[in-house]
Structure 1
Amino acid sequence: MQITKKFIVAGAGVVALIGGGGAAYAATTSAAPAAPKVTAEQAIEIAHKTVPGAWVSELDFDSQGTRADVWELELTKGSERHEVKVDAASGKVVKNEIDRNDRDDDHDGDDDD
């Protein structure tokens, strides 16, 4: 009976050490990424200065690994759709691409309804 208790206590100690070590390892390897210096609200303001009078239809944060993180915004102004990327560290516009929606994809002239 005495030997069984020693094995149980020793086994529980080993399990506690392994579990605690695993938790410590996980805490050090999965540190939360740093928050961007430019907030979402600031990115929206920057995009509105780039495309005045537009409304924001989409906002995403893109963590790009080794490259600079960016805020990706889609803005609509009339028949134009703008894709604007704002550097999350500096606030600089790194991309402003325009997609005009004035194309008529229905070339047969029929009313498809």
Structure 2
Amino acid sequence: MQITKKLIVAGAGVVALVAGGGAAYAATAAAPAAAPKITAEQAIDIAHKAVPGAWVSELDFDRRGTGPEVWELELTKGTDKHEVDVDAASGKVAKHETERNDDNDD
């Protein structure tokens, strides 16, 4: 009789774990994030208008938890590196910073 009680308790524990895991999976996989209105190609075009003649060396999509979703681009023109953020919903340049490379390591 002791063995039967242990099996029932163990079985109930397994059922609870499986049900909880399924609910956790469903919560994380329920809705895929919507695609941005501005595509990567459009973001590159917008960044090229901000920095004409530059080439894109890096492109990332950032889904920020608190702020807007942005395309983060790094462009190179000559010895200058430009970091441009393009708002993925509106297409506006959200940030544009320039780092000048003067070949001094000071």
Q: Which TM bucket (shorter chain)?
A: 0.7 to 0.9
Corresponding residue for 2:64? 64
Report the TM-score, using the length of structure 1 for normalisation. Answer: 0.70
Deviation at 1:8, TM superposition (A): 5.7
Structure 1 residues 18 and 104 mapped into 2: Cα distance closer, same or farther (>3 Å)? closer
Q: How many residues align?
A: 105
Amino acid at match of 1:71: W
The CA deviation string for residues 1-49 of structure 1, in whole angstroms up to 9 with x for no partner, is: xxx78x8688657634541342123212454433322222221111112
Structure 1 gap ranges (5+): 108-113
Deviation at 1:91, TM superposition (A): 1.0
Please list, as runs of the form range in 1=range in 2, the aligned pairs for 1:1-113 lying within 5 A after superposition: 12=11, 15-16=14-15, 18-31=17-30, 32-101=32-101, 103-105=102-104
Amino acid at match of 1:73: L
Structure 2 gap ranges (5+): none
Corresponding residue for 1:110? none
Task: Supply the distance in 1 between the matched residues of 2:98 and 2:10 (Cα, whole angstroms).
Answer: 65
Task: Supply the distance in 2 between the matched residues of 1:96 and 1:65 (Cα, whole angstroms).
Answer: 21
Amino acid at match of 1:26: Y
Amino acid at match of 1:58: E
